[in-house]
Homo-oligomer: A and B are copies of this chain.
Amino acid sequence: MISLAFFAERYESAKSSISEDLGILRRTFMIRGTGVLETLPGAGGGVIFTPGISEKEATQFISDVKKRLTEPNRILPGGYVYLTDLLAEPGLLRTIGRMIATQYSQSSIDVVMTVATKGIPIAQSVASFLNIPFVIVRRDSKITEGSTISVNYASGSSDRIEKMELSKRSLDEGSRVLVVDDFMKGGGTINGMRSLIHEFNAIFVGVTVFAENALIDPEVRDTDVTSIFKVKDIDQENKIINIENGDYLAKTDFSYFE
């Protein structure tokens, strides 16, 4: 929260003029769907900006990115989809960050968690819009992390046990944690992060991934997971990638930003 006195001093103006200007900004932000500017009156009051996205802009973005995701040259041997270039574009990452921040704008979140490597840019972008720090869980912790807490988890089709760890000092007890990642294949990594949050006596709030494998058995799929895209199937022979919308739009309440 920033007090009106801050703006009054910076712009050498009366608080009443600042108040009027903030009103103009509030209406503009509302019309453009870029976020909400809230003014709290009184001596301890001030102004808070919550960045967000409108349903219209999010829907358009999903439709634009879906077209790019189905480009045939994204098919990799083994039936994987190449996403690395998309998750390295600052503009795209900013919109993904704003979308996920919008989904959790009414939840209280203290920290964003992800696992190295490809979830990091998404975590950083979401954290930037929520104005909170992020933590990176690693499979290979380095000496520069200090002491860590580790958990074992079943990876892939549950036939391999792996380890992930997090620096002990990077997460406080009782912190409310939002998990993000680039891709959920079977859910093992997400489960690992949930156990890790539990080990730290922190609180799991939710998890949103950029894309998920649509073939996960609905019976075992973690219902706390939200995805923006679902990779339905990849026809390697005819070079067709079948992508559907995930449940992000259905699970997000945009009313605060409309």
| Residue in B84, B94, B120, B169 whose CB lies within 8 Å of A170 | B84
Residue A83 at the B interface, CB < 8 A? yes
- Identify the closest chain B residue to A122 (Cβ): B124
Residue A109 at the B interface, CB < 8 A? no
Q: For A84, what are the chain B residues with a Cβ–Cβ distance below 8 Å?
A: 136, 144-145, 167, 170
| Residue in B78, B90, B132 whose CB lies within 8 Å of A133 | B90
* Contact assessment for B128 and A82 in the assembled complex, using a CB-CB cutoff below 8 Å: no
Q: Which of A85, A90, A124, A138 has the most CB of B within 10 A?
A: A90
The contact string, 1 if C-beta is below 8 Å from chain B, for chain A 38-79, is 000000000000000000000000000000000000001110
* Contact assessment for B90 and A131 in the assembled complex, using a CB-CB cutoff below 8 Å: yes
* Contact assessment for B133 and A89 in the assembled complex, using a CB-CB cutoff below 8 Å: yes
Give min CB distance, A63 to chain B, whole Å.
Answer: 22
Residue A80 at the B interface, CB < 8 A? yes
Please provide the chain A residues from 86 to 111 with a CB less than 8 Å away from any CB of chain B in the complex.
88-91, 93-94
Q: For A140, what are the chain B residues with a Cβ–Cβ distance below 8 Å?
A: 140
Alpha-carbon distance between A134 and B128 when the two chains are bound, in angstroms: 18
Q: For A131, what are the chain B residues with a Cβ–Cβ distance below 8 Å?
A: 90-91
Q: Which of A89, A93, A125, A128 has the most CB of B within 10 A?
A: A128
Alpha-carbon distance between A82 and B147 when the two chains are bound, in angstroms: 11
Residue A209 at the B interface, CB < 8 A? no
Q: For A83, what are the chain B residues with a Cβ–Cβ distance below 8 Å?
A: 144
Residue A158 at the B interface, CB < 8 A? no
In the A-B complex, the 8 residue pairs with the smallest Cβ-Cβ separation, listed nearest first, are: A90-B128, A116-B117, A88-B133, A120-B120, A76-B146, A80-B144, A121-B124, A90-B127
A residues at B contact (CB < 8 Å): 76-78, 80-85, 88-91, 93-94, 116-118, 120-121, 124-125, 127-128, 131-136, 138, 140, 143-146, 167, 169-170, 183
Instruction: Taking A90-B124, A90-B128 as given, write out 12 further A-B residue pairs in contact, using a Cβ cutoff of 8 Å, ordered by the A residue number.
Output: A76-B143, A77-B146, A82-B144, A85-B133, A88-B127, A91-B131, A93-B128, A94-B128, A117-B117, A117-B138, A120-B124, A144-B183
Pairs A–B under 8 Å by Cβ, sample size 14: A77-B146, A81-B144, A82-B145, A82-B169, A84-B170, A85-B170, A88-B170, A90-B128, A90-B133, A93-B128, A94-B128, A116-B116, A117-B136, A124-B124
